[in-house]
């Protein structure tokens, strides 16, 4: 069993209620140090709530949360020492320039890698002499991103960090997260951009209506889900009724298209009997996976 | 609340789209307009009725008229008093200045909030698209304000006319119309001024401070004109002076409407003109989009707080200093007429017994205390705005504890209040000694320090509220201020309402320099402020941060 401090993030039955609304319900989440985890869920699922709880900005209704073994609620300042954040909304001081904002964020943090900051300013093509008032939305987001990355903090909490960024900058962001991973930093990435999560994350956790509905590596999650099989048989189409785990079966002459849940061998065995002319097995894309999960009925939501 | 997105049946969608700003402005002004209509009307009614109960005999009335009518101290503070031996004269005098100031402050805050405030928040981007240009939007907003002002006028008129029918009051319909017009005119002027400054300045705070400067100057100019013999012409250089010169009920002078209307139109036209020459979200006064970074003072939360407060702090200190200088200059002339029972009685009730410049300054420092209290409310409101806007998060997710953030703001605001208090004392003394009024620098400075504790109390009340009910922070501070100001006004003139005075925050401090400062009560006020701040701090540590 790992010690508490080996986990970058650990929550136990973490719950936040607003009146009757359970913004986050009984969240048990463990993120190992050095892990890059994607945190997904539809609008209003509770992602921002989780991050604000981890930061001690809001108080849990029940349960607890720790960052590197330090209680987020009781000792927030200590917990913050190893954390850098990109908040969900880019609210900055309109009167300050980009450089002043970065300076201030650095002061508040305590430690800044100046060389890396300058590298990031170049990479994200930010003009730091402009006032925040004069920045576009994407440029404000860049200030926040640079502010978080330049600290080289052990844990990066990123709430939709690429909202408003153009594709080139999105690429720069991926490079930066890659660097963070190489340095052993932990990254907690809440995002709606599935391709970004697919490219960057070792593991994903999916939230729905305040509850954790899935958590695991992408390959694990794919196994949980159906694969699509498209096959053409050489002879007669065999009888498929006895094969377990099939759904959405469509047969057209010698062509078959269906979904398979669980092991694929029984289907292959049956198909082999009449000879296989062509075969295509496709794993679901992350997008299909999530669409299936997001779209589930709410009574399934709490089962995991 | 049901929200209908479909256009109402029978109106053309295009017309509705082209008037969306006008209707929105009118709707958002409706509640305030009704409220002020009632407040103005009730001020008139209470003045009219209280006159008969307080001044029963003709002899008493004549004496009141003789004493106040020629009194420059009273004229400087509350405008000239004429025909105080009649109900209408007293009514006009009692209601004019209070309504004039309240109306002007509302006008400038309301217009800058609905125009520059909405624009700051990015909501005009939605409104000013498609059917409407910025210039048209400002024209529409002005018509919305005009509708609101008309409503205030109507309600004030209706109440005045109803009250005027009473046999003891006797104010005719025409006179009521004219009085209501005079009462609403300062709101109209400053709705227009706020609309103009909203085009000039790049943020709501700046827009309202520019309009505030216009208001302060107007008050100061007419004050000198009313108080100093031979300088009466200065009244005509001030928008508030023109309103005064309307002289409703006593000696109507509709000619004064000419500069009021001309000024309002000119200001409104300028606003429309400038609106057409800028972008949505942009401003006429140049706002440099980039500059050298100034990092030296930006060392953490306290440095940031001072950076954010800098312009507000300078404006307040300068405003209080100029105000102090002006009243200091008038002190000798005004104070010399504070002899005679009635004025002395008023001053005595307000805590400043005696006569001469000192007594006058005693009342002045009560007003300066209100001003610095107002400063406390606006500046502490900036801290709540930091939280509500989510900007405080950046500090609190770092190495800054909530305690440090909170204490930083309290210390910064308290220092800024102290600076204003000292400026009030110092510059009032300079003004007074220019006129050789013989008030010592020591007693003026002490009077300045003396107005600091009430401001600290208001700051403490804000700190207490932000701990428990953050959204009400501003409301609670302004409620204390508003109530206390009203209590001073009513309690000062109506002997029977001493209980009202007792509830005023500013009546708790002694009216230095008219009397010696009572440092014990000051310590109690300041101590209560600190105590409230401590309790608020404990509550703040235990609650969620609340954004808006
Ligand atoms: N201050 C609040 N008061 C009441 N309800 C709130 C408050 N803050 C959040 N909620 C509710 O909590 C739930 C979770 O909100 P949260 O902001 O965490 O969602 P999210 O997953 O970040 O969504 P998004 O993808 O849109 O950013 C929502 O139903 C929201 O309405
Ligand atoms: Mg969110």
| Residue B9 confidence (pLDDT) above 60 | no
Residue A87 Cβ contacting ligand 1 at under 6 Å: no
Residue A44 Cβ contacting ligand 1 at under 6 Å: yes
Residue A45 Cβ contacting ligand 1 at under 6 Å: yes
Nearest-atom number in ligand 1 for the CA of A45 is: 21
How many whole angstroms from A191 Cα to the centroid of ligand 2?
9
**A189 DSSP β-pair partners:** A38, A158
Q: Regarding predicted confidence, which is higher, B8 or B547?
A: B547
Residues 6+ away with beta carbon under 8 Å from B175: B88, B164, B248, B249, B252
Q: From CA B94, how far away is CA B88, in angstroms rounded?
A: 10
Contact between A77 and B400 using a beta-carbon 8 Å cutoff: yes
* Residue numbers in A near B294 (CB within 8 A): 100
pLDDT band at B3, cuts 50/70/90?
very low
Q: Regarding predicted confidence, which is higher, B124 or A179?
A: A179
Residues 6+ away with beta carbon under 8 Å from B95: B40, B43, B44, B47, B183
Instruction: List C-alpha distances in Å: B194 to A133, B185, B215, B462.
Output: 22, 14, 10, 27
Residue of A67, A75, A100 to mutate when probing chain B, most B C-beta within 10 A: A100
pLDDT band at A298, cuts 50/70/90?
very low
CA distance A18 to chain B (A): 11
* Residue numbers in A near B289 (CB within 8 A): 130-131, 133-134
* Residue numbers in B near A134 (CB within 8 A): 289-290
Q: What's the pLDDT at B494?
A: 65
Asked if the peptide bond before residue B517 counts as cis, ω within 30 degrees of 0, the response is: no
Average pLDDT estimate for B69-83: 78
CA distance A59 to chain B (A): 6
Residues 6+ away with beta carbon under 8 Å from B445: B422, B425, B426, B429
Structure tokens at B179: 């009085």
* Residue numbers in A near B398 (CB within 8 A): 80, 105, 108-110
Which of A59, A99, A147 is facing B293, going by the closest CB pair? Answer: A99
Chain B touched by A15 (CB under 8 Å): no
DSSP state of B114: I
Contact between A110 and B399 using a beta-carbon 8 Å cutoff: yes
Task: Residue B525: name the closest of B422, B452, B474 by CA.
Answer: B452
Which of B288, B304, B401 is facing A104, going by the closest CB pair? Answer: B304
DSSP state of A133: G
Residue of chain B nearest A59, judged by CA positions: B544
Q: What's the pLDDT at A297?
A: 45
| Residue A15 confidence (pLDDT) above 50 | yes
- The per-residue pLDDT for range A133-171, each reduced to its tens digit, is 889 889 999 999 999 999 999 999 999 999 989 999 999
Average pLDDT estimate for B142-153: 96
Residue A23 Cβ contacting ligand 1 at under 6 Å: yes
Which of A59, A91, A109 is facing B389, going by the closest CB pair? Answer: A91
**Residue ranges covered by each domain of chain A:** 4-217, 226-283
Q: What's the pLDDT at B4?
A: 44
**A246 DSSP β-pair partners:** A260
Contact between B394 and A127 using a beta-carbon 8 Å cutoff: no
Structure tokens at B211: 């309009």
Task: Residue A37: name the closest of A185, A199, A163, A205 by CA.
Answer: A205
| Residue B18 confidence (pLDDT) above 90 | no
Interface of chain B toward chain A, CB-CB under 8 angstroms: 202-203, 287-295, 298-301, 303-304, 307-308, 389-391, 393-402, 542-545
Average pLDDT estimate for A223-234: 83
Nearest-atom number in ligand 1 for the CA of B547 is: 1
Q: What's the pLDDT at B7?
A: 45
Residue A47 Cβ contacting ligand 1 at under 6 Å: yes
Q: What's the pLDDT at B130?
A: 62
Q: From CA B201, how far away is CA A92, in angstroms rounded?
A: 20
* Coil, strand or helix at A259: strand
Q: In the A/B pair of chains, how many CB contacts fall below 8 A?
A: 98
Q: Regarding predicted confidence, which is higher, A96 or B497?
A: A96
Structure tokens at B467: 């701990």
Average pLDDT estimate for B445-463: 97
How many whole angstroms from A128 Cα to the centroid of ligand 2?
27
| A19-23, A239-243, B397-401, B447-451: the lowest-pLDDT one | A239-243
Residue of chain A nearest B405, judged by CA positions: A108
Residue nearest (by alpha carbon) to ligand 1 atom 22? A48
* Residue numbers in A near B309 (CB within 8 A): none
Q: From CA A56, how far away is CA B542, in angstroms rounded?
A: 10
Structure tokens at A270: 């049956």
What long-range pairs does B405-408 form, CB within 8 A, spacing at least 24?
B405/B301, B406/B463, B406/B537, B406/B540, B407/B537, B408/B301, B408/B302, B408/B305
CA distance A249 to chain B (A): 45
Average pLDDT estimate for A243-251: 86
| A230-244, B6-20, B328-342, B482-496: the lowest-pLDDT one | B6-20
How many whole angstroms from A208 Cα to the centroid of ligand 2?
13
| Residue A301 confidence (pLDDT) above 50 | no
| Residue B127 confidence (pLDDT) above 90 | no
Q: From CA B270, how far away is CA B274, in angstroms rounded?
A: 6
Percent of the residues in chain B that have a pLDDT greater than 90, as a whole number = 46
| Residue A299 confidence (pLDDT) above 70 | no
Residues 6+ away with beta carbon under 8 Å from B394: A87, A92, A104, A105, A108, A147
| Residue A300 confidence (pLDDT) above 60 | no
Q: What is the mean pLDDT of chain A?
A: 88
Pocket test for ligand 1, best of A49, A54, A197, A212 (most atoms within 8 A of CB): A49
Contact between A130 and B289 using a beta-carbon 8 Å cutoff: yes
Q: What's the pLDDT at B6?
A: 45
* A71-98 b/e (C-beta count within 10 Å ≥ 16 → b): ebbeebbebbbbbbbbbbebbbbbbbbb
How many whole angstroms from A45 Cα to the centroid of ligand 1?
7
Residue A46 Cβ contacting ligand 1 at under 6 Å: yes
φ, ψ for residue B130 (rounded to 5)? 70, -105
Structure tokens at B250: 């006593």
Q: From CA A28, how far away is CA A212, in angstroms rounded?
A: 8
**Cβ-based burial of B41 (10 A; exposed 0-12, middle 13-18, buried ≥19):** buried
Chain B touched by A118 (CB under 8 Å): no
Q: What's the pLDDT at A5?
A: 61
CATH of domain A4-217: 3.40.50.300
| Residue B342 confidence (pLDDT) above 70 | no
Which of B288, B293, B300 is facing A108, going by the closest CB pair? Answer: B300
- The per-residue pLDDT for range B201-232, each reduced to its tens digit, is 988 888 988 999 899 889 988 988 888 888 88
Residue of B117, B121, B398 to mutate when probing chain A, most A C-beta within 10 A: B398
* Residue numbers in A near B308 (CB within 8 A): 93, 95
Average pLDDT estimate for A211-237: 83
Which of B289, B295, B401 is facing A100, going by the closest CB pair? Answer: B295
CA distance A23 to chain B (A): 14
Contact between B394 and A92 using a beta-carbon 8 Å cutoff: yes
Name the pTM for this structure: 0.77
Residue of chain A nearest B404, judged by CA positions: A77
Residues 6+ away with beta carbon under 8 Å from A218: A198, A201, A203, A204, A286
Q: What's the pLDDT at B511?
A: 85
Contact between A108 and B400 using a beta-carbon 8 Å cutoff: yes
């Amino acid at each position: 069993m790992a010690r508490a401090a080996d986990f970058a993030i650990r929550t136990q039955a973490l719950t936040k209620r607003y009146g009757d609304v359970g913004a986050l319900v009984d969240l048990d989440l463990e993120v190992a140090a050095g892990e890059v985890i994607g945190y997904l869920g539809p609008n209003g699922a509770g992602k921002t709530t989780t991050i604000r709880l981890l930061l001690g900005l809001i108080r849990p209704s029940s349960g607890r949360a720790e960052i590197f073994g330090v209680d987020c609620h009781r000792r927030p300042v200590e917990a913050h020492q190893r954390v850098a954040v990109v908040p969900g909304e880019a609210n900055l001081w309109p009167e300050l320039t980009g450089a002043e904002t970065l300076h201030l964020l650095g002061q508040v943090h305590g430690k800044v890698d100046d060389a890396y900051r300058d590298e990031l300013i170049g990479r994200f093509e930010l003009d730091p002499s402009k006032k925040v008032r004069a920045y576009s939305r994407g440029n404000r987001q860049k200030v926040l991103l640079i502010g978080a990355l330049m600290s080289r903090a052990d844990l990066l909490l990123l709430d939709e960090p690429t909202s408003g960024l153009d594709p080139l900058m999105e690429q720069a962001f991926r490079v930066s997260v890659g660097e963070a991973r190489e340095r052993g930093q932990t990254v907690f990435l809440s995002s709606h951009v599935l391709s970004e999560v697919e490219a960057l994350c070792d593991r994903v956790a999916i939230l729905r209506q305040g509850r954790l509905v899935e958590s695991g590596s992408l390959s694990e999650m794919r196994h949980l889900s159906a694969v699509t099989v498209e096959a053409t048989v050489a002879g007669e189409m065999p009888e498929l009724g006895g094969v377990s785990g099939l759904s959405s079966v469509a047969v057209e002459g010698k062509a078959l298209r269906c979904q398979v849940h669980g092991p694929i061998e029984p289907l292959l065995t049956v198909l082999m009997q009449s000879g296989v002319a062509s075969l295509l097995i496709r794993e679901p894309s992350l997008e299909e996976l999530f669409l299936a999960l997001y779209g589930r009925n709410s009574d399934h939501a709490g089962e995991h | 609340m049901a929200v209908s997105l479909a256009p109402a049946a029978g109106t053309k969608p295009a017309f509705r789209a082209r008037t969306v700003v006008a209707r929105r402005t009118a709707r958002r002004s409706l509640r305030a307009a009704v409220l002020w209509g009632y407040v103005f009307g009730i001020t008139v009614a209470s003045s009219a009725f209280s006159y008969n109960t307080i001044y029963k005999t003709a002899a008493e009335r004549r004496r009141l008229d003789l004493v106040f009518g020629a009194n420059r101290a009273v004229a400087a503070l509350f405008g000239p008093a004429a025909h105080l031996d009649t109900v209408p004269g007293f009514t006009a005098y009692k209601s004019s200045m209070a309504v004039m100031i309240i109306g002007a402050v509302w006008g400038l805050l309301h217009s800058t909030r609905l125009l520059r405030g909405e624009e700051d928040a990015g909501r005009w981007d939605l409104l000013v698209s498609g059917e409407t240009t910025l210039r048209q939007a400002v024209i529409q907003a002005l018509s919305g304000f005009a509708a609101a002002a008309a409503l205030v006028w109507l309600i004030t008129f209706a109440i005045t006319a109803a009250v005027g029918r009473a046999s003891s009051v006797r104010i005719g319909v025409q006179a009521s119309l004219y009085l209501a017009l005079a009462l609403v005119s300062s709101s109209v002027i400053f709705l227009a001024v706020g609309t103009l400054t909203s085009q000039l300045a790049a943020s709501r705070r700046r827009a309202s401070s520019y309009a505030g400067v216009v208001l302060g100057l107007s008050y100061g100019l007419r004050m000198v004109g009313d108080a100093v013999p031979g300088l009466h012409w200065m009244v005509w250089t001030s928008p508030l002076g023109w309103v005064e010169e309307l002289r409703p009920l006593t000696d109507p002078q509709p000619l004064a409407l000419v500069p009021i209307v001309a000024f309002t139109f000119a200001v409104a036209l300028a606003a429309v003109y400038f609106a057409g020459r800028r972008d949505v979200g942009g401003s006429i006064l140049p706002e440099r989009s980039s500059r050298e970074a100034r990092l030296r003072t930006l060392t953490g939360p306290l440095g940031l707080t001072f950076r954010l407060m800098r312009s507000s702090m300078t404006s307040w200190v300068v405003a209080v200093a100029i105000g102090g200088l002006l009243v200091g200059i008038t002190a000798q002339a005004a104070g010399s007429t504070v002899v005679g029972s009635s004025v002395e009685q008023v001053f005595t009730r307000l805590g400043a017994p005696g006569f001469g410049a000192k007594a006058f300054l005693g009342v002045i420092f009560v007003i300066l205390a209100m001003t610095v209290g107002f400063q406390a409310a606006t500046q502490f409101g900036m801290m709540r705005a930091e939280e509500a806007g989510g900007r405080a998060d950046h500090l609190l997710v770092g190495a800054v504890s909530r305690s440090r953030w909170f204490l930083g703001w309290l210390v910064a605001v308290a220092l800024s209040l102290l600076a204003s208090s000292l400026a009030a004392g110092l510059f009032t003394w300079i003004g007074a000694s220019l006129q050789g009024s013989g008030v010592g620098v020591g007693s003026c400075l002490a009077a300045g320090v003396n107005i600091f504790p009430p401001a600290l109390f208001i700051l403490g009340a804000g700190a207490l509220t932000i701990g428990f009910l953050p959204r009400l922070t501003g409301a609670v501070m302004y409620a204390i201020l508003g109530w206390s100001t009203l209590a001073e006004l009513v309690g000062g003139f109506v002997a029977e309402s001493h209980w009202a005075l007792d509830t005023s925050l500013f009546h708790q401090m002694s009216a230095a320099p008219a009397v010696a400062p009572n440092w014990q009560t000051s310590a109690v006020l300041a101590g209560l402020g600190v105590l409230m701040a401590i309790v608020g701090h404990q509550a703040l540590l235990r609650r969620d941060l609340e954004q808006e």
